[in-house]
């Protein structure tokens, strides 16, 4: 029976109607949305997943969920504090003199020649299932001597079907320390550790021309295995910050089998390397690694028992952050990271519910955030209607403007240069900068130490009195007339350089060369114009800029630092003389040198957090405020959005392994996604109707012609 066109119409409408129940724009499989799967995105593929080499935030987003160092930051408690992760307890710290005699806990620093960290790990912690650990019935490793055919037949790690596991021992931690020393691994902290771990440098030289597989048999003088669950690291002198390093993925355990497996010739040609396929003991394992498309973390079936914290800060109970207290972690089964390079699709997918969390790009800031009358921030009504949650936190970072202290005009210890720097510090209005260029996402810095780090002082006590005054219960930038007075005292009345009788010319060195950066550069220029100074923008490519910084050919620049660990030493070392960039290649980018500051620093860095340390920190802040090698700039404030189904939210800027605490209300997500993503069918309906009408008209015309 032949079907006529008009008879197809009801079928079309039926089909179109059925589309109403579908989510045609769902980028995932229909089935996936019902499981506890967290959807996140990444914009740049990580360079390294080897914990010995990785050091970036985007790399830690993955490896901190897979690898487990000995210690971790407590998820809820503030100030940040370390707790055991795979360690069974906090380390036993023993001070020794040169002869190896044990000293008391309160021994003077100069007497301490060595410090021993005695570390204990938990029993019954196992590695994730992995082919490197797979054994046959005879107890031999299946994949440690791969044939050419086996390698040729494999494209990814998943092609090795047999997997195995074994218990974590301290040998795995020791093996990782050896890996940190191996020059071929190129660990970014190898040079630092040479200064601390006894025998580290000698070991590095010893293994320089040896393959990674041979380091197992060799030993480092300062690292000793005491038993299966206990080992000891000996460091030179006293270095209390060492424990923070021990809580970073650099010191996560690595089974020697991993090196033996991955070092087999031919696997690297398939990109099957330890740098791309991790092997850890953490809550998740990397189930899919396609950094060009997506990376999937799956719950590790061998994950040891770890429970959600049972205590936190005051108020955490009220916020519902202890609802899951005592529950076995992790709380979600799978995390899917999708590569999303552009902000428009990323933001749209978040609004459609296909990403569970999102940052706020400047394009979408006004759509998401509004400022309240009191200067606070709140979500816009459209965000509130969707039940989206806003989380803000001041980052433990400094974003400062630096003066090259080696420069003849702005640098040096003279009163003239100091007053010039102090005047500029008043003139450069970072409150305005934050408002214009960061949508209010920042906190004007009053010193070196950001909030959340020991030594940061709030309120009047923490004000930089050289640039601000405390008025109406808040820090007020000093008037520009005071800066102009300082310019007169510096010998530059109205910004006129007496040597040239013209406006003082200063150079701002930057790697910001794009058209988008011009408004910001103009803004800097205007700030200096307030003092009559002519600011010349010297924009170069990044390589040349770095070269200028290394050789001290810059004058004024902006720079930043993000904390490695929550200790003031990690910020003040940026101004310590022996860390000068030009002389010693260190992180003191302004090449600041102050005997007074250095003396304080040397005393403070190895102290425990006592009131005495706090006092020294305040004195150091005062020295730096007075000398003004930095204009303190601001501490960035991060704004993150989360859907209503996202639970256990608490900002923790130190912990990178936060995913295991996250919970999801999957049913709510399913309902909301469905409600938000109903396809709009009527344009299709109209289109079909029009086509049918035209077709009917043509058929009618033809028939009419035939009848005639």
Partner 1 sequence: MIQYIIRRFLYAIPLLIGVNILTFVLFFVVNSPDDMARMQLGQKRVTEQAISNWKQQHGYNIPLLWNSEAQDQEKVTKTIFYQKSVGLFLFNFGVSDSGRNIGADIQERMWPSLALALPTLVVGLVVDVSFALMMVLFRNSYIERTGLVICVVLLSISSLFYIIGGQFLFAKVLKWVPISGYDDGFSAFKFLILPVLIGVFSGSGSGVRWYRTLFLEEVEKDYVRTARAKGLTETQVLFKHVLPNALIPILTGVVVILPLLFMGSLIMESFFSIPGLGSYTLDAINSQDFAIVRSMVFLGSVLYVFGLLLTDISYTLVDPRVRLS
Binding residues for partner 1, per CB under 8 A? Answer: 23-27, 29, 47-48, 55-56, 183-184, 186, 188-192, 268-271, 273, 275-276, 290, 292-293, 338-342, 344-345, 348-349, 352, 354, 541, 543, 546, 564, 585, 587, 677-680, 683
- 103 contacts 136 by C-beta, under 8 angstroms: no
Residue among 51, 315, 44 nearest 172 (CA): 51
- 623 contacts 616 by C-beta, under 8 angstroms: no
Residue with smaller CB distance to partner 1, 25 or 219 = 25
Half-sphere exposure of 521 (CA within 13 A, CB side): 17
Residues 30 and 320: their CA atoms lie apart, in Å, by 31
The two structure tokens encoding residue 162: 């047999």
Residue with smaller CB distance to partner 1, 349 or 613 = 349
77 CB contacts (<8 Å, ≥6 apart)? Answer: 309, 311, 312, 313
Residue with smaller CB distance to partner 1, 108 or 585 = 585
Residue with smaller CB distance to partner 1, 469 or 677 = 677
Residue with smaller CB distance to partner 1, 618 or 678 = 678
Cβ of residue 524: shortest distance to partner 1, in angstroms? 22
Cβ of residue 270: shortest distance to partner 1, in angstroms? 6
Cβ of residue 279: shortest distance to partner 1, in angstroms? 17
Cβ of residue 366: shortest distance to partner 1, in angstroms? 17
Residue with smaller CB distance to partner 1, 88 or 352 = 352
Cβ of residue 493: shortest distance to partner 1, in angstroms? 40
Residue with smaller CB distance to partner 1, 291 or 412 = 291
Instruction: Kindly report the backbone phi and psi dihedral angles of residue 365, in degrees, each rounded to the nearest multiple of 5, phi listed first.
Output: -60, -45
Which H or E run includes 285?
strand 284-290
Q: Can the peptide bond before residue 330 be classed as cis, meaning omega within 30 degrees of 0?
A: yes
Specify the long-range contacts of residues 200-203, CB closer than 8 Å, at least 24 apart. 203/178
Residue with smaller CB distance to partner 1, 290 or 494 = 290
Residue with smaller CB distance to partner 1, 268 or 496 = 268
Instruction: Kindly report the backbone phi and psi dihedral angles of residue 236, in degrees, each rounded to the nearest multiple of 5, phi listed first.
Output: -80, 135
Cβ of residue 122: shortest distance to partner 1, in angstroms? 31
Residue among 617, 135, 66 nearest 295 (CA): 66
If you ran DSSP here, which 8-state letter would residue 702 be given?
Answer: H
Cβ of residue 590: shortest distance to partner 1, in angstroms? 16
Task: Report the greatest alpha carbon distance in the chain.
Answer: 120
Could you give the angle at which helices 415-427 and 480-490 cross, rounded to 10 degrees?
Answer: 160
Which H or E run includes 489?
helix 480-490
Cβ of residue 123: shortest distance to partner 1, in angstroms? 35
Cβ of residue 369: shortest distance to partner 1, in angstroms? 20
Beta-bridge mates of residue 392: 639
Residue with smaller CB distance to partner 1, 322 or 339 = 339
Q: What is the chain's length?
A: 708
Cβ of residue 39: shortest distance to partner 1, in angstroms? 11
CA atoms 26, 31, 35, 39: torsion sign: negative
The two structure tokens encoding residue 116: 């021993």
234 CB contacts (<8 Å, ≥6 apart)? Answer: 96, 114, 115, 116, 117, 197, 198, 221, 222, 223, 224
Residue with smaller CB distance to partner 1, 124 or 292 = 292
Cβ of residue 580: shortest distance to partner 1, in angstroms? 14
- 189 contacts 180 by C-beta, under 8 angstroms: yes
Residue with smaller CB distance to partner 1, 275 or 554 = 275
Residues 657 and 543: their CA atoms lie apart, in Å, by 34
Strands (E), 319-425: 334-339, 357-359, 369-371, 377-379, 389-394, 397-403
Beta-bridge mates of residue 558: 401
Cβ of residue 64: shortest distance to partner 1, in angstroms? 17
Residue among 435, 438, 432 nearest 361 (CA): 438
Residue with smaller CB distance to partner 1, 102 or 344 = 344
Cβ of residue 586: shortest distance to partner 1, in angstroms? 9
Residue with smaller CB distance to partner 1, 290 or 522 = 290
- Residue 298, judged by CB atoms within 10 A of its CB (0-12, 13-18, 19+), counts as middle
Residues 444 and 461: their CA atoms lie apart, in Å, by 15
Cβ of residue 151: shortest distance to partner 1, in angstroms? 12
């Amino acid at each position: 029976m032949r079907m006529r066109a008009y008879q197809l119409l009801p079928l079309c409408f039926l089909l179109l109607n059925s589309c109403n129940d579908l989510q045609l724009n769902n980028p995932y499989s229909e089935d996936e949305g019902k499981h506890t799967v967290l959807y996140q995105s990444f914009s740049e593929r990580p360079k390294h997943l080897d914990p010995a080499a990785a050091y970036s935030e985007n790399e830690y987003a993955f490896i901190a969920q897979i690898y487990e160092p000995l210690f971790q930051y407590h998820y809820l408690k503030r100030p940040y504090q370390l707790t055991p992760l795979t360690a069974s307890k906090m380390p036993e710290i023993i001070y020794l003199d040169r002869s190896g005699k044990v000293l008391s806990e309160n021994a003077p620093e100069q007497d301490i020649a060595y410090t021993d960290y005695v570390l204990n790990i938990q029993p019954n912690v196992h590695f994730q299932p992995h082919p490197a650990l797979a054994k046959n019935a005879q107890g031999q490793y299946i994949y440690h001597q791969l044939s050419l055919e086996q390698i040729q037949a494999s494209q990814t790690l998943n092609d090795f079907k047999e997997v195995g596991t074994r218990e974590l021992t301290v040998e795995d931690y020791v093996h990782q320390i050896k890996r940190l020393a191996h020059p071929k691994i190129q660990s970014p902290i190898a040079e630092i550790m040479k200064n601390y771990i006894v025998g580290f440098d000698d070991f590095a030289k010893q293994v320089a021309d040896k393959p990674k597989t041979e380091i197992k048999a060799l030993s480092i003088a300062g690292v000793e295995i005491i038993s299966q669950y206990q080992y000891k690291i000996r460091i030179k002198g006293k270095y209390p910050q060492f424990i923070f390093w021990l809580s970073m993925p650099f010191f996560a355990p690595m089974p020697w089998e991993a090196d033996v497996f991955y070092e087999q010739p031919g696997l690297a040609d398939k990109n099957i390397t330890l740098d791309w396929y991790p092997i850890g003991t953490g809550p998740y394992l990397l189930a899919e690694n396609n950094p060009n498309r997506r990376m999937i973390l799956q719950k590790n079936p061998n994950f040891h028992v770890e429970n959600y914290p049972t205590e936190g800060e005051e108020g955490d109970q009220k916020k519902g952050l202890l609802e899951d207290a005592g529950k076995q972690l992790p709380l979600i089964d799978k995390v899917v990271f999708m590569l999303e390079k552009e902000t428009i699709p990323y933001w749209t997918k978040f609004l459609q519910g296909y990403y569970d969390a999102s940052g706020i790009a400047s394009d979408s800031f006004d759509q998401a955030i509004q400022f309240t009358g009191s200067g606070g921030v709140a979500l816009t009504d459209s965000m509130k209607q969707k039940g989206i949650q806003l989380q803000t936190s001041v980052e433990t970072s400094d974003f400062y403007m630096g003066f090259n202290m080696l420069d003849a005009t702005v640098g040096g210890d003279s009163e003239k240069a100091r007053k010039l720097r102090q005047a500029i510090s008043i003139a450069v209005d970072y409150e305005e900068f934050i408002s214009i260029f960061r949508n209010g996402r920042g906190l004007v810095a009053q010193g070196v130490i950001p909030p959340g780090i020991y030594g940061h002082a709030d309120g009047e006590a923490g004000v930089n009195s050289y640039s601000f005054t405390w008025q109406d219960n808040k820090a007020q930038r000093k008037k520009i007339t005071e800066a102009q007075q300082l310019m007169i005292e510096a010998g530059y009345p109205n910004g006129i350089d007496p040597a040239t009788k013209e406006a003082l010319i200063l150079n701002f060195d930057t790697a910001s060369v794009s058209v988008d950066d011009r408004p910001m550069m103009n803004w800097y220029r205007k700030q200096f114009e307030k003092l009559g100074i002519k600011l010349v923008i010297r924009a170069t490519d990044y390589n040349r800029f770095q070269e200028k910084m290394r050789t001290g050919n810059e004058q004024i620049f902006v720079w930043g630092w993000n904390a490695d660990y929550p200790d003031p030493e990690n910020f003040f070392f940026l101004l310590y003389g022996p860390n000068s960039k030009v002389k010693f290649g260190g992180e003191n980018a302004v090449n600041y040198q102050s005997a007074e500051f250095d003396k304080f620093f040397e005393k403070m860095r190895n102290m425990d957090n006592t009131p005495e340390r706090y006092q020294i920190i305040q004195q150091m802040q005062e020295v730096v405020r007075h000398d003004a090698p930095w204009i303190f700039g601001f501490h960035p404030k991060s704004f993150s959005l989360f859907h209503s189904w996202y639970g256990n939210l608490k900002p923790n800027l130190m912990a990178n392994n936060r995913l295991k605490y996250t919970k999801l209300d999957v049913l709510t997500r399913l309902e909301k996604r469905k409600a938000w993503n109903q396809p709009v069918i009527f344009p299709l309906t109209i289109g079909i109707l029009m086509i049918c009408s035209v077709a009917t008209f043509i058929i009618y015309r033809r028939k009419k012609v035939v009848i005639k």
